[in-house]
Structures are given as structure tokens and as C-alpha cells.
Amino acid sequence: MKVIIVGGVAGGATAAARIRRLDEQAQITVFERSGYISYANCGLPYYIGDVITDPEELTLQTPESFWERFRVDMRVRHEVTAIHPDRKTVSVKDLKTGREFEESYDKLILSPGAKPTQPRLPGLGLDQLFTLRTVEDTFRIKEYIDTHHPKSVILAGGGFIGLEVAENLRELGMDVTIVQRPKQLMNPFDAEMASFIHNEMRKHGVRLELGYTVEGFEEKDGGVDVLLKDRTPLHADMVVLAIGVTPDTGLAKEAGLELGIKGSIIVNDRMETSIPDIYAAGDAVQVKHYVTGEDALISLAGPANKQGRIIADNICGGDSRYQGSQGSSVVKVFDMTAAATGVNETNARKAGMDVDKVILSPMSHAGYYPGGRLMTMKVVFEKETYRLLGAQIIGYEGVDKRIDVLATAIHAGLKATQLKDLDLAYAPPYSSAKDPVNMAGFMIDNIAGGILRQWHLEDLEGLPRDGSVTLLDARTPWEYAGGHIDGFVNIPVDELRERLSEIAAGKPVYVICQSGLRSYIASRILENASYEAYNFSGGYRFYAAVTEDRALIEEAYACGMDK
């Protein structure tokens, strides 16, 4: 069996190694147009920022090491220029020598990945304008910084790459600005959760210009002007485009393969394309979202590696199936960690789901053990069925392990109420006897049992201020004096039983505290005294962070539009 693989890195290299492990006789050739066949894409920004100092650390395998271990013919700087399904060959160009030739295959695997999205804008060819996809791109950026010592950079785009590059360039001492059309960074997160990311970026001196459309670039004063719609240009010494990625599927289109979202390659659950004996994996393929069942593009290394393995199994006579992508991800944001899995509330509602959520602020480990830090968790679930849909966590230590527990629970089909039953490891330096994941489950179980009724930030504007409801802040007078929502009266939770006469009977009571715990206790006191009580999800800490961020975004946007 002769297997041709177009593209290395995650999907292609994984498929090649797996095929060899299953079939010692297979003839396997990988054509990779860059100079590297297996490298750490996710580590590229950290090389630019001098966190990774040895460029060889970025290379996971070389053509020589792959041949020695697996007897796979890895041909770098070879570009496949056409696919001929009718005669089962590919056209290849040796980029070193210019020689062109055809190579036959029995099975063909496409793993071309995705390329940085580059809309047709004026000025894209400027020397000070960069994209980041390959090791070569990384070296170009690094060489430019080391040679020209730029003092400022504008990043167009605020996704994973944008945040990682922003952090690393800021750590080098550069003035960093992120500009993009949406008014939030990191689309996997709901807007209110992204507020915590925004606040961390600002804390470290990153300037956020959100809500602006980039219309082009002009060279000026040795640097670049970024042209924005309805706003004066922004100027910097260099610009990095990080506005997303687009499936790199020109070959597939020309070969007649069926295409889907943004020109991605349509595959079935065996990773087979519409043409027999051609498979595809990685960022170039359209997949099913594991939670919603909808078609999706999810550009992450984990799914690409799994898909490469599945292809290898099926080529070698097995029957492996890809169950869909869940979108589990984690990113370092200076001192914080932000992680998400499944579907967020925004996209769940767009998919027509009837959803609810809990927002909580647990400690990373036992409060009496030194060093614990707060994290903010949002868990999204389906009403009535309590199907677990997704989660987002932003904090410091322990974020990654909680998101992995929640990702596993979603994959296993657990209901959100069952999170309370998970038997998770506990020791004071690592967790609490009631782990944050358990705490989310307790809250959702209370909702299911009618013990907890919630109100959310989006409900605030609609709360009547005509006396028909009671607005209650259950924090201490000291906390209340430090900031509160207008119209909320202060009765500390520990005084509430003795002061129930101050709360009008027969009216709903909307309660808030710092994190949601004391207001929940206050709600239970009220409910047991025959009041109808609603607890604010997230607490005043959450309210303050989100409203402050939104005010800063709108203020910056208004100032920019006035210029």
C-alpha cells in the first residue's frame, strides 16, 4: 500500500506514525511545503518572546528522525500543486530545485491546515506587516524584532494567537495594542467572561481598541498606520495580523472535493472525503460540534491529532470514528489562565437551545491553606433536561484541571446535576473537600430542586424601581460602602433574621452579595420566611468587573469615533 500525505504537523505526522505502527510494509511519503514536518505551532509565540530560547525546541521531529524511527519518507520544501483523483496521482514541485513530477498513491491524506485570514486590504505587502503560522513566520518576526528593535506593535485580532503574541511582545517591553471588530476578545467565551481577560490585559499595559474594522495599512514614518473605519489611524512600528484562520483548501477545491464552511473539506466520521481513497484531517476539515451537532470549524491541535489517528486506523483496515469536536481549550493570559469547553451561552442560544447557567467564584484550593486564589466559573446547561453544554473558567491555579473534568463530563453525557456526585481528589494544597466542580453541581441541583432561584446581570436593567420588588445587598456595611448597585438596601446576611420586618411582605426580593454565597444563604432565610427570593448569579465582584470593562470599552470606542 502506497500512502501519500499532504502536510505534516499535527494531523499528517500523526497519521504517518500510526500507519507505520499498524503496517510495517506500507510505503509512506509526506510532502510538506515548509521546511519543518512536525513542529509545535502553539509554542511559536513563546519563541518570539524569548520564553523558548532554542529554536530546535520548536521542532518535534525532523525528516531524519522520522525516517530512523518510522521509515517514513518526509520531503520538506515539496509542494503538492494538484491532485488527480482519476489516475490517483499528485503533482509535486521541489521548491529547492524547481523540479516537478507526479507521484501515485493508493491512499491520499490531506492535512494542509489553515492559513492566516488575509482580507483583500490595501498595504498587505508592507515589510513591517507579519502573519504567524509557520516556523519560518516565527523566525521572520523574531529577526525583525532583533534587528530593528521596534518599540510598538498593533495586533489585528484577539483570538488565541493574538493574546499569546500580545503577552510575549509586552514582556519584551513593547507597547502593544489589540484592535478588532468584535467588542470582546476570545470568542469561545461569553462577553461577560471575556471581561476578566480584558481586565488582565489592561493590567499589564495592553491597549484594547475593540469594535473597529481594519480597512488597510499604510507605511508612515518608518512604521505602519492601521486604517480603521470611521476612526483616525493607529500607528505602530510593526503589525501582526491575527484575525483568524481560513482552511487552506485550494488543492481540494481544484480536485473536485465537496467543500463546506469557508471552503473547508467535508468529511464523514471516518474522515473520508467525497472522493474514494482520499482522507482529510486537521484545521482544513469541517466537523460536527460534539455538543450542538452543527457543522463547525474548530482549529485546535487535539482534534487534528485524533483525526490523523482515525484515518490511519481506517486505511489499515480498522473502523475508527470521529465523534466530533468539543472545542476544549486553554490559554495563558499573563498571570491568569482562561479555559473553555463545549458551547458557550451565546452560541447555545443561537443554536436554538433553551439554556440556563450558574456563575460562581470558588477558591482554587482550601481557603485555610496559604496561596489560594479565586477563579470565576460559568457552567451552561439545558433547561428541563439539565444536559451539560459547556463551561468557561478564568483564574489562576487549578483552572486547567477543572476545565478538563468538565470536558470529560460533557463527553460522558453527564447531566449538570451529576457534577455534585463526582469523586474528585482532595488535599488542602490542591482543592477543597467540595471541589469547585462539585460546587457548580450543588448549585444546579438546587435549581432543579426548586431550592435556588436566580437572577442574572442581564436582568438588572429590567428590575422595577417602583417599590414593587425589594432589592437587597447582603454584604457587610464596609463592603456596601465600597461600592454597590443603586437602589439596593444593605442588610448584612448575619443580621437578616432579626431585621426581616424591614422587608415588605408579599414582594419578590432580589439579593446580591460579593460572590453569591451569602446572598444564597439570605435567599434561603427569606424563602423559609415565606418570601419569594432570587439570588444574583456571580455576585457583586462579577458585576463590578463586567460593568467596569463595558464602560471602558464604550468610553474608548466613543473617544475613537470622536476623533
∠ CA 62-39-109, rounded to 5°: 85
CA dist., res. 112 & res. 190, Å (int): 30
CA dist., res. 70 & res. 523, Å (int): 64
At 175 the three-state DSSP class reads strand
Residue 409 identity (one-letter amino acid): A
Query: Strands, DSSP E only, in 460-546?
Result: 470-473, 489-490, 509-512, 533-536
How many C-beta atoms lie closer than 10 Å to residue 327's C-beta?
23
**Ramachandran class of 460: left when φ > 0, alpha when ψ lies in -120 to 50, beta otherwise:** alpha
- CA proximity to 284, closest of 444, 137, 115: 115
Helix (H) or strand (E) holding 61: strand 59-61
- 498587505: which residue's cell? 124
Instruction: Choose, from 42, 316, 513, 559, the residue flagged as catalytic.
Output: 42
CA dist., res. 68 & res. 62, Å (int): 10
9 CA to centre of own chain:
20
Cβ–Cβ under 8 Å, residues 280 and 111: yes
Cβ–Cβ under 8 Å, residues 238 and 130: yes
- 506514525: which residue's cell? 17
At 450 the three-state DSSP class reads coil
262 CA to centre of own chain:
19
CA dist., res. 93 & res. 251, Å (int): 14
Q: Helices 399-411 & 436-448, crossing angle to 10 degrees?
A: 50
Is residue 316 among the annotated active site residues? no
Residue 39 identity (one-letter amino acid): Y
Residues tagged active-site: 42
